[in-house]
Amino acid sequence: MLKRVHFPSSPLPYLLVAPQIAITLVFFIWPASQAMYQSFLIEDAFGLSTEFVWFENYELLMEDKQYLDSFGRTIFFSAAVAFLSMSLALVLAGFADRVIRGAMVYRTLLIWPYAVAPVLAGALWVFMFNPTLGIISYALEFVGVNWNHYLNGEQAMALVIFAAAWKQIAYNFLFYLAAMQSIPRSVIEAAAIDGAGPMRRFITIVFPLIAPTTFFLLVINAVYAFFDTFGIVHAVTQGGPANATTILVYKVYNDGFVGLDLGGSAAQSVILMALVIGMTVVQFRFVERKVQY
């Protein structure tokens, strides 16, 4: 942690950490503690007086069917995004690992969605699935699907999942490819000599060996789906129709900035913080384990 050889104590190190610490205090720790404090308050309808109510906001949330639905929806959404983008990335990485000529070209062509902002990803998919004009909804009509995500909640959810998963394929692909390329060739060759075909080798050797990467990506994708997809939902559905795509991050924003329910929004923030902390702890424990072997 600290260098064996280091500089003696002086005021200098305080000056060096000062900018980072100042920003952390003013824009992170203070607002977070404010959120925690506000989550114990209830404001009356006119915003004239506030009352300290301990955990009443949380109790209200736990009884609020809309909130619990949103919770379940978020979990479904994250699982779907993680599964869809990780399985596609795994298949692509598996084949990319096989091709020798052109592997880098494929990588170049596959990584760019990473650079597209979530809200733009949402815009692209909304355009393709536009009920009157969209190219894919037009094609879907020929197979008898009437696409209108403005009216159909399930279709709206599917569209948000597609856009979110599409953007994440690039990231998952890069990590899977790197993991596969770090498997020693001798292991694969030994299995080949023993007569295992490519499919068998993938299932019994490659996939178990990259299990740590799968786990790591699962956490990263969950965090992504929970927190980074606000832009997609905001652009594609605004949480609708009838809250069918209101995931937790969107609800915090909507209740706080549109509904102006400060206490409820703050309580939701605190719950989300607890979730991030949980996920970060899982991620770090895993990283520590990986370092050991």
Which one among 58, 67, 125, 147 touches another protein, defined by CB under 8 A? 125
Look-up of token digits 């004009």: 133
3-state secondary structure of 149: coil
DSSP 173-242: HHHHHHHHHTS-HHHHHHHHHTT--HHHHIIIIIHHHTHHHHHHHHHHHHHHHHHTTHHHHHHHTTT-ST
Query: Using an 8 Å Cβ cutoff, are 267 and 155 in contact?
Result: no
Q: Which is nearer to another protein, 9 or 292 (CB)?
A: 9
Gap between the Cα atoms of 213 and 180, Å rounded: 10
Binding to another protein in span 29-48, by CB under 8 A: 29-32, 34-35, 38
Interaction of residue 135 with another protein, rule CB under 8 A: yes
Interaction of residue 123 with another protein, rule CB under 8 A: yes
Binding span for another protein by CB under 8 A among 46-54, 57-65, 73-81, 225-233: 225-233
Residue 280's identity, in one-letter code, is: T
Site string for another protein, 48-87 (x = CB under 8 A): ----------------------------------------
Binding span for another protein by CB under 8 A among 3-11, 43-51, 68-76, 203-211: 3-11
Tokens coding 170:
């690039």
Gap between the Cα atoms of 189 and 103, Å rounded: 20
Interaction of residue 120 with another protein, rule CB under 8 A: yes
Which one among 42, 210, 218, 220 touches another protein, defined by CB under 8 A? 220
Interaction of residue 187 with another protein, rule CB under 8 A: no
Which one among 234, 240, 241, 243 touches another protein, defined by CB under 8 A? 234
Gap between the Cα atoms of 66 and 69, Å rounded: 5
Gap between the Cα atoms of 42 and 162, Å rounded: 38
Binding to another protein in span 263-282, by CB under 8 A: 265-266, 269, 272-273, 276-277, 280
Interaction of residue 151 with another protein, rule CB under 8 A: no
What's the closest the beta carbon of residue 134 comes to another protein, in angstroms? 8
